[in-house]
Structure 1
Amino acid sequence: MNSMKKDPSKTEINTSLVEEARKTLIGAKDWLLEDVSLMTAYWHDKMGYTEAWVDANWHLVLDEGHELVEEFDDKEDAALLWLINHANNNPVPLEDCHVAGTMADAGTYHCMACGHDNVVETKQTLAPCEICHYGLMSTHESRAVSE
C-alpha cells in the first residue's frame, strides 16, 4: 500500500503564497482607501473654492447672467430655425409662415393646404383660409403648394 506523504516544502510554499496574497490584498485595499480619501479632499476643497467664489460674486453672476441668457436665447432661436429649415428641406422657410390667430401685416397670405391667396387689407388678426379654413399661411415668394 502506497502511503501518500505530504511534502513539507510544498506546504511551506503554499502557506507563504497565501500570506503574500493576503499582504498584497491588504496593501491594495489600503492604497485604494488612501486614494479615495485624497480625491474626496481634493473635490471638497475645489468645490468649496467654487462655492465661495460664487457666493462672493453672486451679484456679478446675476447682472451679467441676464444678458448672457438673452444673447444665448437669440442664438439658439436662430440656430433652431436654420436647422429646421435646412434639415427638413422645408419648401417654405419658417420665418415666412404665419398661423391663423396671430397679428398679420397687410399683404397676401398663401394657404399652405389649398394654395388660395388670402388678401389682408390692414394689419389685423390673421383668419383661417377663406376656402378650406386651414390655419397655416405663407408669405414666401415661390409657392409651396401647386394649384
Structure 2
Amino acid sequence: MRIGELSRSTGVDVDTIRYCEKAGLLPPPTRAPNGYRDYGTPQLERLAFIRHCRALDMPLAEIARLLDFVAHPQADCGDINQLIDAQLARVRARLQSLRALENQLAALRARCDTGHLAADCGILQELVSAAHGEACACHAAGAEVGESSR
C-alpha cells in the first residue's frame, strides 16, 4: 500500500509516518519499480503500535525501547515495567501540576462576580497587579504551576 493508504488505515499523518521512518521506528518499506514506497503489514502493525504508545503520551525514545522488546520477546520484561512506572510518575506529576493550576484559576475566578464593568473586574485587577510584580492572590491557592514537576 502507498503512504496515503497507510495514513488512512492507521490515522497517522503522512509527515509523521515519514518521521518515524527517518527515526528508525518504522522499518523501511520496499520500493515499487516507479520509486514509490510500498508499505505492508509489518509497517501497518508497527505504526499502530507506535500510535497506541503515543496515545499514552510516551516519548519516542521509550517507544523505540519498547519496539526493541517486541523484536526480542525472550528478553526480561523488568525494564518494560520500569519504563511504564517512569511514564506513570510523569503523568502523576502533570496531574499534580494541573490541580495546582485549577486551584489558581478558581482563586482568580473568585475575585470577581459578574455584572461589573471591566474596570472593576477583580480578575483583571489581579492579573494586572501580578504583571507588575505584585503578589497575586491566586498563587496563594496553590503552588506555582509546574512546580510539582521540577
Bigger fraction of residues in helix: 2
TM-score normalised by structure 1 residue count: 0.28
In our comparison, the structure showing a higher alpha carbon Rg is 1
Question: TM-score normalized by structure 2?
Answer: 0.27
More strand per residue: 1 or 2?
1
